[in-house]
Amino acid sequence: MSSQIDFVVVYNPTRFAREKYDHFALRAHLKSLGISLRSATAPIDDTSTGKLREGVLAAFAQFDNDVRSERTRAGMPAALELGRWTFLHRSGTSTRRSGPARVSFPIPNAPLVKQAFEDFATGRFTKQEVLASVTELGSRTRRGCFRHRVLDKCCGTRSTSA
């Protein structure tokens, strides 16, 4: 059975995959399907020179990704020292740049989030009841409805019910 696709064209081979092993694994899979990889900005092809150029570009893509990762990890402690929040914000807050540091501001559903924690802390409500209540009142997280894992993370409890 012949493939309906002859080529996959990428803008730049360095963006095809961030790890050289992933690059060549994907390339091998495409080849097994009879599909060639081409680039809009670099002359890569199935010739010996094209394969060499592709290998060098794949290695540099991984190098660039590794360097960025190392810089990010090294910069996070320095940013924390300057008062910047370098982590995802908790439900009920958002982070905005204010001068040299990031500060946390309540968002519109913050009172609902606060109410959820207070209700849960009383012990009179199950986790499911609290979540149903704040969701019904309109509280939402980045991923949609308020989930039990949000309470677990913020309260330091383990999830026992979904």
Q: What is the pLDDT of residues 14-55, one digit of tens each?
A: 888 888 999 999 999 999 999 988 889 888 888 899 889 999
In degrees to the nearest 10, what's the CA dihedral of 120, 123, 127, 130? Answer: -50
CATH number at residue 21: 3.40.50.1390
**Is 2 domain-assigned?**
no
**Is 50 domain-assigned?**
yes
| Mean pLDDT estimate for the chain | 77
Domain edge (last residue) among 48, 66, 81 = 81
User: What pLDDT is stored for residue 113 in this prediction?
Assistant: 73
Residue 161 pLDDT level (bands cut at 50, 70, 90): very low
Domain edge (last residue) among 66, 81, 96 = 81
Residue 70 phi, psi (nearest 5): -60, -40
One domain for residues 11 and 70: yes
Q: What is the pLDDT of residues 88-142, one digit of tens each?
A: 665 555 656 655 555 555 566 677 777 777 887 888 988 888 878 877 776 666 5
User: What pLDDT is stored for residue 162 in this prediction?
Assistant: 42
**Is 40 domain-assigned?**
yes
Q: How many domains, the chain?
A: 2
Alpha carbons 131 and 126: distance in angstroms, whole number: 9
User: What pLDDT is stored for residue 133 in this prediction?
Assistant: 81
User: What pLDDT is stored for residue 12 in this prediction?
Assistant: 87
One domain for residues 50 and 107: no
Question: What is the pTM for the complete model shown?
Answer: 0.50
One domain for residues 37 and 96: no
One domain for residues 71 and 101: no
One domain for residues 99 and 34: no
User: What pLDDT is stored for residue 63 in this prediction?
Assistant: 94
Q: Which residues contact 18 (CB under 8 A, 6 or more apart)?
A: 61, 62, 65
CB 38 within 8 A of CB 45: yes
Q: Over range 73-101, report the average pLDDT.
A: 68
The CA-CA-CA angle for residues 131, 134, 137, to 5°, reads 145
Q: What is the DSSP letter of 98?
A: E
CB 44 within 8 A of CB 53: yes
Between 63 and 81, where is the model more confident?
A: 63
User: What pLDDT is stored for residue 62 in this prediction?
Assistant: 92
